[in-house]
Each structure stands twice: as structure tokens, then as C-alpha cells.
Structure 1
Amino acid sequence: MTTILQSTRAFETWMRAQLGGDLVEADLDKKYKKMKSGAFVFLRATYWRWAETIFDICPDLANAPQVLAIGDTHLENFGTWRDEEGRLVWGANDFDDAAVMPYALDLVRLATSAILARNSSSPTSRAIAEAILGGYRRGLKAPAPVILERDYKWLRNDVLLSNGERKAFWDKYRDLPLPAKPVPTPYLEALRRSLPDGGLSFIAKPRTAGTGSLGRPRFVTNVEWRGGPVVREVKALAQSVWSLRHNPSDTVIRTAVIASGRARSPDPHYQVTDNLLIRRLSPNSRKIEVEGDAQILLSPAMLDLMGFEIANSHADDASRIPVILADLDKREADWLRNSAKAAAAAIGMEQTEFARNG
């Protein structure tokens, strides 16, 4: 197995080949600084390394039934949006690395992230695994989007922003600095197509966000339309690094496919065109992050719902559900906890090595 430093250099070389001059060098520096800050952030930043090493850490996961899966699953890969009917929806909202893989990997990666992010008041590793697995089983048996308009009052109360937070959200995008160099035409055209009026004048500004996608170009525009602000974002997509590692000839980007699955109610403004992801951003269309919301994200009720949403994402092919349930029934009672603990330990050691020598 390559070292984490060798692996990081190889991944950066691949990114340069994929993005060429569009690669954001300053964001790579930020990514590496984040990787040194802690094991949870390191996990978020290094999905390519997970794809390389997880079968060495947990070889029994390799023979689990395969589905179109989220891939880069973790505590912060969930948020809210408005669907076509204007309803507030909660669920997974980052599918950049979606690919066909063993279903169990999404569960193990989520549980691993929770173990790495927990504090002294968080649930035990066993409680984390039981909550995720319970929600996943429930979701496979009755998959359904998580609509917050009538049900899930507890979650709706937790995710809605206050007036002050809403103002800060809009101000953040309004106050982004102007680009230091011309924005490439494909990104400008994608933003123009995404706006409610193609004749609106707009300025595309670079944005730094996320962790795993740092280095990929990302631009937003903030315009006034019919009495209020409108924000759109475009960012570059690339081949899933899971496919890169396990099936290099599979270069299909499946982001839009899994996002619009039969058991989900997607945001109609979440679209993929020419390897660019375009999406709406608003106080109701946002990611929920550990910083500030750790207590919510690590609660048993939320972990259960995250497991449920993973099942929603896996349930697009109904024929796979009985196969997955049969595989779950064959596994030992503590398989998810044991796998996640092993992965968390391995990630902790690699993060320490990177922080010391990276």
C-alpha cells in the first residue's frame, strides 16, 4: 500500500490532468491545512484515499451486494432544499462521487465519520451503528423522501434558520470578492442558464467551500430578481474516484442519476450539464455542518434518519432491496460498529502521519 503522502501526490497529479488550468491552487493549500487539523476533517478531505484503502481495512465489505451509492458519505453530506412543489426537504445533498459499489460502504463511512466527530457527550460507537443500521433497514422496507412540511417537526425546528442567520447567509454571498482573473466561459454560460431570467446582468465570483472538492473551480452569482436575492452556484465535476480506483474505464458521472432517484424529491435547480453541477443556494437550500450543529447531527434520531436516507438513495433499483436485506441478515450483529471502528483507527493514524510529515 502506498503511504498517505504518496497517495496525496498521486491524487493531485490526477486532479491536474482532469482540470488543467482550472485547478484552484490556493484551495489545494487550504485542503492540506484542513487535513492536518483533525481526523474528521481528514476523512472528509480524502475520499480518494478511502477508495484506495477500505478493502484493506475491512476486506469483508468487498463481497456485499453492489448498488449505485453515494460514495463520499459523512455527517456533513446532508442538508435541506425546496422540491418542485416548494416543499422543504431534507436528505443527502452531495453526490459528486456517486458510483456502483458495495452498499455497506455508505453505512460504514457514515458511522466512521460519526465516531471521528463525536465528543464526550456523543452516543457510543455501538449506539451510532445501531441508529444508522436501524434507519437503513427501515428505509429499505419503506423508502420515501423526508419531507418536512407536515412530518418530522423536530427536524424542521432544528434546520430552519433564524432571521439573523438568514441575513448572514445572504450577506455572505453578496460580499464575496470579485474574481482576480476572467471566469472561464463554460461556468458563465452555466450560471446564465440557471438564472430565472437569462437577460439578468450578473457577476460570477469564485467561492471556496467544502473539503473534499477543494481544488475544483466553483463560482457563484448573487442577483436581485423580483424583490429579493437569488444565488446560483456552479462547480466542476470529475470521474468518481471510486470508479477511478476500481473500474477506471467507467468515467460516467452519476451525480444527477442518484440525486433524482425514485425515493427522493430533488431540487429542480440541481442539474448536471457537461460535467458541471449547477444548484440553487438559499437559507432553505444548504448543507448542515458539524461546527455549530454537532449535537443535532450526532443525535440518535438524526443518525437513524441518515441511515434511512442512505436507503432512499440505494432504493432506486427495487430489485436490489431483497438482496441487500438478505446480506444484512447474514452479517454478525456488530459488523457495522466493528468496521467503522477499524476504519476510524486507520484514518486516525494516517491523519497523524500527514499532520507530522505532510
Structure 2
Amino acid sequence: MGSITASVKRYEVWLGEQLGRQLVQADIDRKHRRMEESDFLFLRATCFRWTETVHELCPDLMDAPRVAAVGDAHIGNFGLWRDAEGRLVWGVNDFDEAAETPYAFDLVRLATSALLWRGRDRSISADEICAAVLGGYVEGLRTPGAFVLERHHLWLRDLVSATDERRGEFWARLEQLPRAAPPRGYREALAAAMPEPDLALVMARRVAGVGSLGRPRWVAITDWRGGPAAREAKALLPSAWSLIQGGDRKSRFAELTSGKYRVPDPWLKIRKGIIVRRLAPNSRKLDVPELGDLGLVRRLLSAMGVELANLHSARRSRARAIAADLESRKPAWLRDAVWRVAEATRQDRVAWRARR
């Protein structure tokens, strides 16, 4: 593996080539600072590093069945949206790095992120994390199904749905964003996504996420028929997996967001290379909750495993191949891979902090 500083430089040169003058250098600088804060944030910020190093860190997984995968699975990559029936749905809601990869890569990265998230908290072990994620995944392969938070999964609805306090904070943060005029393509995409044409829109720049920092992100807010409505737009770029030799260059965004075992978000659209989505207190990416109840932690990790299986099972022939591959692997394969990736992440972060 090359150095982390060289890896970051290569990726950011590529990002600049993709975005040109739209690259937000202030957000790149913010990302660099956030990468120093914790191993978990470092992992989230460096999916490109994962694409470069996984073949060395997990050589035994390279021949696992390939699927249309999240590509950047981690515990901060889940969120909420409303479907066409108005039902609340939970699941993966960021597919910026979607690509065709061995199915096991998503499992390793998800479990590694959980281990790094817990940090010095030894109350849940790597074995317990991997058992929860893998147990949920196997269950999802057998009986895939979306997480519609209505009749079922009410424990999850109670955990993640916005409280009255959160609703107030959500709209206050959006309304306090610095006003700015986005480029024409973003303006048109945001206006077209509104509930009706010719609304008076307030537009602003938004900073969110970690891995996507550097890409322009714009929001439009309006008052529509008695209440606020908001949309967000950001650039859709090729996946970081396209940067490696033989990497997947085909966008898997639409394939994954509308898969057989997904409930589509009707407000999530791609317009001329721009991703547009609805923003609302219950249509958002979720912060990782601080959970003291270890039973609830395990249950949430298991649900995340199920959701990965929902995505990977869109073609049932793939699900059968994955199940057969899992049966052939040693019991501790996931834990062993997670330890290797976690240690490599820690070493990269130490090197990153020492670069100056």
C-alpha cells in the first residue's frame, strides 16, 4: 500500500478534475481536520483508500460472489424517507460509491465502522458486532424485505423518528444556512423537484457528511401551503471504485435505490448529473445514536445487516450464491477481516496526523 498522504492527493486531484471550479476547497480543508478527530470519522472520509487497499487487506474475499453493492457501507450511511404511500422507511440512503464488488466488502466495512465507532468502549466486542451484522445478513438473505416502519419494526421507528425538539432544530438549522446562488444546473434541479412550479425559493449552500465533503451541496427552502418544504442537490460523480484498475465504471445508483427489496424514495431523482432529494425531519441521513443498551446496539447492527442483504438480494441467483459462499467460509472470517481493516485504518490515521 502507498502512503495515506499520496492516496489523499490522488483522490483530490481526481475530484478536482471531475468538479472543476465547483470543487469546494473549504470543505476539503474541513474533511482533512475531521479525519484527525477519530478512527471512525477517518474511515468515513476515505472510501477511496478502502478501494485501493482491500485487495491487500482481504485477499481471501476477492473471489466472493459479486453484487451491486453500497461500496461505502458504514453505520453512518443509513437514513429515513417517506415512500409514495407516505409511509416512513429506514435503510441505506447514500449510494455515492455504489459499485459492483464482492458482497463481503460491504459486510467488512460496515462491521469495521461499528468497531471503530465504539472506540474505547469495550462493552461490545468485535465478535458480538460481527455476529450481529452477519446474523442479520443471513436472515435477510433468507427473507429479504424493506424496513417500512408502520406495522412492523416499531422499535426502530421509536429509535430514529424525529421528536418535536428535533423537528424544530432541523428547520432552524436549514433556515440559518448562508444564502447563496447556486449554478444554473442546481437551481433548475431544485426548482423542478419542488411540489409545484414557480415557488419563491430561498437557496443556500449546505455542508454535510464526511466522505462527500468537497462536492457542492445546495438546498432550496420554501413555504408551501402552510408549512416549509426543502430539497437538496449535490453532484453525482463516478464511484471511487472506478479509480482502481479494473474498477466498476458503471453507475449503480439507480439500480440500488429501486431494487426488488427496496421501497423507493419518490423524491430521490437524478437530473443531468445532479442528485436531488427531499429534506425533512423524517427524510434525512441519521446520526449514529449513542446507545447505552447493548441489546439495542446488537438489534440495530442486525437490522443493518438485513438491509445489506435486501440490497444484495435483488437478483435471487446472487443471494443463493452468497449463501453457498458463506457456508464455505471459516466461522471467524468476518472478525479476522474486520481486525485487519480496523488496524490499517488506525495506522493510516496516525500517519495522517503526523504528516505536518
TM (normalized to structure 1)? Answer: 0.96
Q: Per-residue displacement from partner, 1:77-130 (whole Å, max 9, x unpaired)?
A: 111111111111111110111000000000000000011011425421001001
2:79 alignment partner, SS class: strand
Q: Please say if residues 37 and 355 of structure 1, whose CA atoms lie closer than 8 Å, have aligned partners that are also in contact.
A: no
Give the match for residue 135 of structure 2. Answer: 134
The DSSP-based 3-state class of the residue aligned with 1:293 is coil
Residue matched to 1:321: 319
| Corresponding residue number in structure 1 for 2:155 | 154
Hey, which bits of structure 1, 4+ residues long, moved more than 3 A?
A: 292-298
Structure 1: distance between partners of 2:281 and 2:336: 37
Given that 1:158 and 1:296 are in contact with CA atoms closer than 8 Å, whether structure 2 keeps it comes out as no
Residues 100 and 252, structure 2, Cα contact 8 Å, conserved in 1: no
**Which residue is 2:82 aligned to?**
82
For residue 218 of structure 1, what is the amino acid of its counterpart? R
Q: Give the SS at the match of 1:221.
A: strand
Instruction: Provide the residue aligned with 1:203 in structure 2.
Output: 202
Structure 2: distance between partners of 1:209 and 1:245: 26
> CA offset at residue 294 of structure 1?
4.8
- After TM superposition, the structure 1 = structure 2 runs for residues 54-73 of structure 1, keeping only pairs within 5 Å, are 54-73=54-73
Matched with 2:188 is 189
Deviation for aligned residue 1:256: 2.0
Cα distance, 1:272 vs structure 2? 1.5
Q: 1:310 to 1:63 in 2, by over 3 A?
A: same
Counterparts of 1:1-358 in structure 2 under 5 Å? 1-118=1-118, 119-120=120-121, 122-179=123-180, 182-247=181-246, 250-290=248-288, 292-295=289-292, 299-357=297-355
Distance 1:145 1:121 in 2: 31
Residues in 2 aligned to 1:121 and 1:356: alpha-carbon distance in whole angstroms: 27
CA distance in 1: counterparts of 2:179 and 2:41, whole angstroms: 28
Give percent identity, aligned residues only: 46
**SS state at 1:234 partner:** strand
Displacement of 1:243 in angstroms is 2.3
Name the aligned partner's letter for residue 255 of structure 1: F
Amino acid corresponding to residue 17 of structure 2 in structure 1: A
For the residues of structure 2 that align with 1:17 and 1:40, how far apart are their CA atoms?
A: 28
Residue 357 of structure 1 aligns to a residue whose secondary structure is coil
In the alignment, the residues of structure 1 paired with residue 292 and residue 42 of structure 2 have an alpha-carbon distance, to the nearest angstrom, of 20
1:296 Cα offset (Å): 7.4
Q: Deviations over 1:53-76 (max 9, x none)?
A: 011111111111100000111011
Give the whole-Å Cα distance in 1 for the aligned partners of 2:290 and 2:160.
Answer: 9
Give the distance between the partners of 1:196 and 1:237, measured in 2 at CA.
22
For the residue of structure 2 that corresponds to 1:32, the secondary structure is helix
User: CA contact under 8 A between 2:177 and 2:206: conserved in structure 1?
Assistant: yes
Amino acid at match of 1:293: E
What is the one-letter code of the residue matched to 1:344?
Answer: A
Q: Which amino acid aligns with 2:62?
A: A
Q: Give unpaired runs (5+ residues) of structure 2.
A: none
Q: Which amino acid aligns with 2:299?
A: A
> Are the equivalent residues in 1 in contact too, given 2:241–2:249 (CA < 8 A)?
no
**Which deviates more, 17-26 or 161-170?**
161-170
Secondary structure of residue in 2 paired with 1:75: coil
For 2:217, the aligned partner's letter is R
Q: Which residue type is aligned with residue 193 of structure 1? A: A
Q: Which amino acid in the other structure matches residue 337 of structure 1?
A: R
Aligned-residue offset at 1:329? 0.4
SS state at 2:354 partner: helix
RMSD (Å) for aligned C-alpha atoms: 1.4
**Amino acid in structure 2 at the alignment position of 1:159:** V
CA distance in 2, matches of 1:144, 1:203: 38
Paired letter, 1:125: A
User: How much does 1:252 deviate?
Assistant: 2.8
Matched to 2:112, the amino acid is: T
